[in-house]
Structure 1
Amino acid sequence: MRHIYTLKMLVAGFLYLAAGIVTAEAEDKPNIIIRSEETVFTVNAINNATTTVKTKITILNPNGDHRAKLYVPYDKLSKVNTIKGTLYDANGKKVKQLKNSDIKDVSAVSNSSLFDDNRVKVADLIHITYPYTVEYEYQTTSKNMMFYPMWIPLDEENLKVESASLRVEMPKGMKLRYHEKNLAAKVKQEATATHDVYLWEVKDLNPVRKEPSGAGLEELVPIVRTAPTEFEVDGYQGNMDSWKSYGQFIDKLNQGRDALPAETVLKLQSMVAGAKTPEEKIQKVYEYLQGKTRYVSIQLGIGGWQPFEASFVDAKGYGDCKALTNYTQAMLKAVGVNSYQALIRAGDDEDDILTDFPSSQFNHVLLYVPNGDNGIWLECTSQDVAAGYNGSHTGSRHALLVTPEGGKLIKTPDYGINENVQRRTISVKLDDKGNGKAIVSTLYTGLQQESRSDVMHHYKPDEQKKWIYQQTKIPAFEITNFTLEQKKERLPSVTEKLELDLRQSATISGKRMFLTLNLMNKWSYAPEPLENRKTNVVRSMAFLDLDTITYELPTGYTLEHKPQDAVHKSEFGEYKTSIKVDGQRVTYIRSLQMGKGTYSKDLYPKYIEFLNQIIKGDSQQVVFVKNIP
């Protein structure tokens, strides 16, 4: 599916989205000042619109130079009519007028794209002395009316906006739908002889800065989203007034594209002949898909939203997310299993869609197989992901099921404390110099296994070893052996086994041995206190870590000091440690569970306190004294 932000760029240029920021006080100095910016979106008909943008931007230092570049994307369904630009020095003297020959026209094709008509016109007015000011004016025309503007005037950190506006002009009789957020002034409505006019304006928006563990940008700054009711794309008409009607439009794009060759149908039916349950059929078809196909982005006109035929993928062995999902749906249908395509906003850091504002908020397609209360989600673009696993890429968010009856929102699985587990056991044998040999076995599940799964499937053995070195937080060690083993289940897991030589794992000072018990899983970060925090505390991942470490000391040592067992509980989680000494054997057990969610900003000091308790607990030592005859 063509990425949603590509089309938003046609209206507003590149969006610089940053997570976790808040409105700042005057002491936060900007890198950029938008003196004025006017965006006019004029709908000419159900299948045509024009966007005009005029902007004047002052660049104060090199950190703002990126805003002196203009990127205007276009494709088969859109064109760039004009681009004008002027550069002024600090005294307001004109330095340069943009010429047509200065404007570059480059492909926007990604490495994973085979068919892609996305292109970008690039203008560059970066200057060598500061401050300087650039003025740009450009106009585009689009025939893709699925997408209306999303307006974020304050779209990055260290940006000040003196004045910005969005004007939407709708022909009489055409309905505009919009969603406002964090606006000081709501929409103003006007009318001309031919159009209804909607106007949003902001003034004197201060720079923004990040707060630790804070809310994302879209929660904090003024945003206006707009969307059509009736629309047309490349001859296909649709309605976006509800999720049901939008799903009907997508279903119409998919109709008649699921036919498979007769020999393929017979092959599939033979392949699942021994399957005793629908789940077994699904697993066999999904494994066949992963072994036969590969992902290739296809972005040609309506092909950004309409899948290639299943027969094409069957013959060629490749397709984009739409095509591969459509192909999998066709294969399951051939073996008697019903399924539905589902639009979703994918991405590890993506927020959920606005469920109360039906619109094109999606950038990916999955397949959903109903299975009672335990439906199965299939990521059809991956050759590695386990059937039924959504993970960080598509988990814990809403998707739009596409059915002949229309669209229906459904939530993908959430992954919480009991799913995202790290369970580790370590056995360490120490010598008289504090060096040691360790045998480590760690089971990772859910979100905690994803990075190692990626390493397993995409790195060579020597690269895997280098990566494990980088991830293993021990001061001095050598990996003498390692293995990674994955179980591809609905909750996938990776087991990592290490054999390590440890240098000075314990510190020898005179007759004493100082042993820091937490070998591999020390918490090291707590955010700085804030006197006037403005946003709630946000934690995006829940997890459970369980570590059991057994140390075998050399003979001749007697315990001198052992820390007390610890239990620290807070609204954010629970931390526990247990230490047992039995002769020359020390057993250390640590557990840490952290929840996810949004917590009151008033709890921020308690959050810091809880993390500091973990840091202190993870640095505790036992002390032994050597018996001297």
Structure 2
Amino acid sequence: MISTIIYHFLLPIWVTFYNPTPAAKYEVARVPEALKENAHAVVREHETTFTVKSVSAATKKIRYVVTILDENAAEHAILMVPYDKQSKVNYLKGTLYDQNGKETKQLKKSDIIDVSAVDNGSLFDDSRVKGAKLNALQYPYTVEYEYEISYNGLLFYPTWLPQDETNLAVESAKFQVIIPAGMTFRHKGINLPDKPQVSVQDKNQVHTWQVAGLAAQETIPFQPSFLEQVPALFTAPDDFEYEGYKGNMNSWTSFGNWINQLNTGKDKLPEATVAHLKALVADAPDDLTKVQKIYEYLQSKTRYVSIQLGIGGYQPFEASFVDNKGYGDCKALSNYTHAMLKAVGINSFYTLIRAGRNERDIQVDFPSNQFNHAVLCVPMAKDTIWLECTSQSESWGYSGSFTGKRHALLITPEGGKLIKTPVYNAPQNLQNRQATVNLDASGNGLANIETTYTALQQDEISHIITADSDTQKKWLYGNVKIPSFEIRKYDFSRQKGKLPAVTEKLNITINKYGSISGKRLFLTPNLLNQLSYVPPKVENRRLDVITGMPYIDTDVISYQLPSSTFEPELIPEPQVINSRFGEYSASVKIEKDVLTYTRTLRINNGRFPASAYNELIEFYKKIQKADKMQVVLATK
């Protein structure tokens, strides 16, 4: 009896000892502590296999396992897989695990959504998205997704970014390109070994890149592009085919020749339209005026509609179609403008560009389709004109932050040619302000303010001009940095051109701007342009300092003091601050009952060593202090 009891007592222990339960593969406790530091999520495994079948066919298989540590990384529980006429999602799987690595849910077919990816601006678009979401009520948890896409038409090979955002750590990631023997492709790695591991598998070459143990990156002020800090791999075909159009991408010239194939014969206009255009510019004194007239005609006649249907995502509609219908996408409208200029004897080039507000430049040494937009380049005798053909309100010849300061690909008869778009420097990016403020004895004011913004400084406000009055007022109340004021009247006007300008006029009342204490009036003369931001300290900074938009701000504020009421008691000394990052000056003078405040700030852009960061902090601190200087007036 006793031996039986001992047997039943010891048996579970013996079984556990000799047949231990394996630890769950995705148990959160198994994530190295070093990878949890500064991380909201940790990629446990990320495997991408791109298998090339031919110049026009391939498959991409992805398996992605991520542990989501907190709510800041909740978006990692969502998977979105785009596809279109040239691609197909073969399968999509998903599994949810709890913090102990125990499987809690399998993705069902009914959990997968399949919706159009077309926005309201798209008239022709076959893009769709398969989506899924696996999330738990309690953090941390782990999500595993696996899917495969097949492609029929290969204009792109994948870009691999195993660590594509801040506060994301990577435990293990692998990327493979499997390509038939005899076929070639190109690759460029950043923060990766120069050469991949290469092996042979069933008459295919297998190229493999791997990374492991990538600590989470944090966002710090004035840092370089995130792409400089993390591993990245660009891949591209040499020979390719898309919807029957064959091409080669091993040089910008050859890629441009492929675009020429798509555009050939698309610039024909009806004879009646050609006659109308010639009459339109008949009295133009020069080619520059002709370009301006044609561009303004384009804006008055057409509207932008996205066209992303198969080859239509890369090939423009015929100019005659746009002329008849009055709409088109960036490709069609740029081609249409090219055709109109050609009709009046002016040469221009259809141009591809990577557009976006302050978008990073392309990899100029890696010919491939890195573009998402088309514009028009018009070379003139003394200058080059850039035309954004999708906007009904943009200034002619102005690139701004949307397409400026980057490389673009001119599509010339000889093929593609890289060229740099305009760069806007501090003397062009101006904010000039003149204001008069009538103060009463209680410190209240009535102000007339006129501010002119040029070039990059007018980019944001230029969109407000076409908004309704309620939107304009809301914008003004949110952007005029005065503690308590009321708008009595306002006005916007715009001057178009290569360096556009917006003028804002305000008539406002200001409540208690001057502070009364006993017999003294305390006044901060910098009415509208006080620097509020000072970069925080960064311990052991190792990244270069990249300053942003260069600009010059000038403020001249005149205060009409109550007649015979106050006299100056304390007038601050003029302030001058010089740094490699910019220059600052501010001064106050009083003549009779008029106090005039003058301030100028110039910010330089550039790249500076990490050791300069503390100097940048001090530069901002000094400006912030100078901007708060006060004038003390005493009653007579």
| TM-score normalised over the length of structure 2 | 0.93
* Alignment correspondent of 2:132: 123
Secondary structure, aligned partner of 1:45:
coil
**Does 2:532 match 1:524?**
yes
CA shift for structure 1 position 469: 1.4
Equivalents in 2 of 1:157, 1:491: separation in Å? 36
1:49-448 aligned within 5 A = 49-183=58-192, 186-448=195-457
CA shift for structure 1 position 65: 2.3
Equivalents in 2 of 1:257, 1:299: separation in Å? 17
1:582-597 aligned within 5 A = 582-597=591-606
Q: Are the equivalent residues in 1 in contact too, given 2:436–2:558 (CA < 8 A)?
A: yes
CA shift for structure 1 position 273: 1.0
Q: Are the equivalent residues in 2 in contact too, given 1:514–1:621 (CA < 8 A)?
A: yes
Secondary structure, aligned partner of 1:456:
coil
Give the letter aligned to residue 343 of structure 1.
Answer: L
Q: Are the equivalent residues in 2 in contact too, given 1:178–1:225 (CA < 8 A)?
A: yes
Secondary structure, aligned partner of 2:491:
strand
Equivalents in 2 of 1:574, 1:514: separation in Å? 27
Q: Are the equivalent residues in 2 in contact too, given 1:109–1:118 (CA < 8 A)?
A: yes
CA shift for structure 1 position 591: 0.1
* Alignment correspondent of 1:15: none
CA shift for structure 1 position 126: 1.2
CA shift for structure 1 position 501: 0.8
Q: Are the equivalent residues in 1 in contact too, given 2:341–2:348 (CA < 8 A)?
A: yes
CA shift for structure 1 position 68: 1.7
CA shift for structure 1 position 95: 1.6
Q: Are the equivalent residues in 2 in contact too, given 1:257–1:308 (CA < 8 A)?
A: yes
Secondary structure, aligned partner of 1:148:
coil
Q: Are the equivalent residues in 2 in contact too, given 1:185–1:201 (CA < 8 A)?
A: no
CA shift for structure 1 position 136: 1.5
Counterparts in 2 of 1:90 and 1:25: CA distance versus 1, 3 Å: closer
Equivalents in 2 of 1:156, 1:223: separation in Å? 12
Secondary structure, aligned partner of 1:207:
coil
* Alignment correspondent of 2:497: 489
Equivalents in 2 of 1:239, 1:195: separation in Å? 21
Across the aligned residues of Structure 1 and Structure 2, the Cα RMSD in angstroms comes to: 1.3
For the pair shown, which has the larger CA radius of gyration, 1 or 2?
2
Equivalents in 2 of 1:354, 1:428: separation in Å? 51
**Does 2:616 match 1:607?**
yes
Structure 1 runs not aligned, ≥5 long = 1-23
Q: Are the equivalent residues in 2 in contact too, given 1:31–1:60 (CA < 8 A)?
A: yes
CA shift for structure 1 position 373: 4.0
Q: Which residue of 519, 535, 548 maps to 1:511? A: 519
Equivalents in 1 of 2:34, 2:519: separation in Å? 56
Q: Are the equivalent residues in 1 in contact too, given 2:35–2:170 (CA < 8 A)?
A: no
Q: Are the equivalent residues in 1 in contact too, given 2:453–2:503 (CA < 8 A)?
A: yes
Q: Are the equivalent residues in 2 in contact too, given 1:74–1:119 (CA < 8 A)?
A: yes
Secondary structure, aligned partner of 2:475:
helix
| TM-score normalised over the length of structure 1 | 0.94
Equivalents in 1 of 2:323, 2:407: separation in Å? 30
Identity of aligned residues (%): 51
Task: Select between 220-229 and 51-60 the one with higher mean Cα deviation.
Answer: 51-60
Q: Are the equivalent residues in 2 in contact too, given 1:428–1:549 (CA < 8 A)?
A: yes
Q: Which has the higher contact order (CA 8 A, sep 6+)?
A: 1
* Alignment correspondent of 2:474: 466
Equivalents in 1 of 2:489, 2:536: separation in Å? 39
Secondary structure, aligned partner of 2:409:
strand
* Alignment correspondent of 1:5: none
Task: Select between 85-94 and 136-145 the one with higher mean Cα deviation.
Answer: 85-94
Please list the CA deviations of residues 111-132 of structure 1 after superposition, one character each: whole Å capped at 9, or x if unmatched.
2111111100011111212222
CA shift for structure 1 position 466: 2.0
Task: Select between 416-425 and 62-71 the one with higher mean Cα deviation.
Answer: 62-71
CA shift for structure 1 position 62: 2.2
Equivalents in 1 of 2:610, 2:100: separation in Å? 45
Give the letter aligned to residue 58 of structure 1.
Answer: T
